[in-house]
Amino acid sequence: MDISYIREFVMLAECGSFSEAAARLFISQSSISKHIQALEKELGMPLFNRTTRSIRLSEAGALYLPYAKKLAALCMDSEIALDDLKHRSSTSLTIAVMQHPQYYDMAKYITGFREAYPELTFSMVEADELVLYEMFQKKTVNIFPTYSNFAGAGDYTFMPMEKSAVVALLRRDHPCAAAGRVTLEQLGEERLLLPSRGGSVSALIKAAFRRAGVVPQVVYEGSSIGCIDLVKAGMGVSLHAREFAAALAEDPDVRCVELEPSISFVYGLGHRPPAELTHAEQLYLSYMKQFERK
């Protein structure tokens, strides 16, 4: 017995019209008519009383309808369960990385995961934290890099991995470049170049200035790489994560200076409950947990 014929019978019984049932099922009226006739032949009894103007369930049809609904529902449930198993058993994985994945050792982690599970196939998608969170909400990705203070925290489980801090990047001839530290009050007189607008690090920086009673003169919020050229041109002081500054350690034109007071933050991964992850995603999460910050 073709389960699709049973579904068509249920739809026709609910609609009471071949044309409406065919439209809802996206098939032709002639097809649904042939399928109902085939089902009636197999059951050995007419399911509908037909006239030129209408169709109504026969006595047999009325008796069969609740069983047909159960069969259709059970079949749908089984298909959903199998699709879920297929999804959870998948050996493919999309790894989300934040812009500039060399920071926070993400490139090292991903390389290590690839070496540990060479049988898996994966691709990577890179975007800023806001776009990655949107992808998580749409279930395009189920694990994504984020910060502990991210505005969307609470919609996912956060696994802390790295603790970092914000530092100031100055041109080498800046008066504060030779100092070990620079205060937020001193930076209140500077033009500031910050990370991407709306991001967690940028929000932390602005909050720290508010607590210090200083109004920052923000002239740029955007690409980490782009702001370095502005620093070198004397356009302002850049505030960024320490890991970003470490990548510039050999640049003779830029100096890294600690902030006072310190602006620290925690970086890690946001993820869905393990039961909602595919097999490959569970392996990735398990691998990353060995680097979890306790």
Distances (CA, A) of 191 to 68, 125, 142, 245: 72, 33, 38, 18
Over residues 132-171, the pLDDT tens digits come to: 999 999 988 999 999 988 877 788 999 999 899 999 999 9
d(CA 99, CA 127) in angstroms, rounded, equals: 5
Fold of the domain built from segment(s) 92-160+267-289? D-Maltodextrin-Binding Protein; domain 2 (3.40.190)
The class level of CATH for 162-266 reads alpha beta
- 36 within 8 A of 6, measured Cβ to Cβ: no
Report how many helices (DSSP H) and strands (DSSP E) the chain contains, helices first: 11, 12
d(CA 67, CA 262) in angstroms, rounded, equals: 69
Model confidence at 83: pLDDT above 90: no
Question: In the predicted model, what is the mean pLDDT of the chain?
Answer: 88
Phi-psi region of 236 (alpha: psi -120 to 50; beta: other; left: phi over 0): left
Where residue 103 falls among pLDDT bands split at 50, 70, 90?
low
d(CA 120, CA 278) in angstroms, rounded, equals: 12
d(CA 118, CA 122) in angstroms, rounded, equals: 10
End-to-end CA distance of the chain: 58
| pLDDT score, position 249 | 64
pTM > 0.85: no
Domain coordinates of the chain in residue numbers? 3-83, 92-160+267-289, 162-266
Over residues 22-57, the pLDDT tens digits come to: 998 889 999 999 999 999 999 999 999 988 778 899
Is the fold of 3-83 the same as that of 162-266?
no
Model confidence at 122: pLDDT above 90: no
* CATH number assigned to the domain with residue range 3-83, chosen from the 4 options 1.10.645.10, 1.10.10.10, 3.30.450.20, 1.20.120.530: 1.10.10.10
Nearest residue to 209 (alpha-carbon basis) of 189, 225, 224? 189
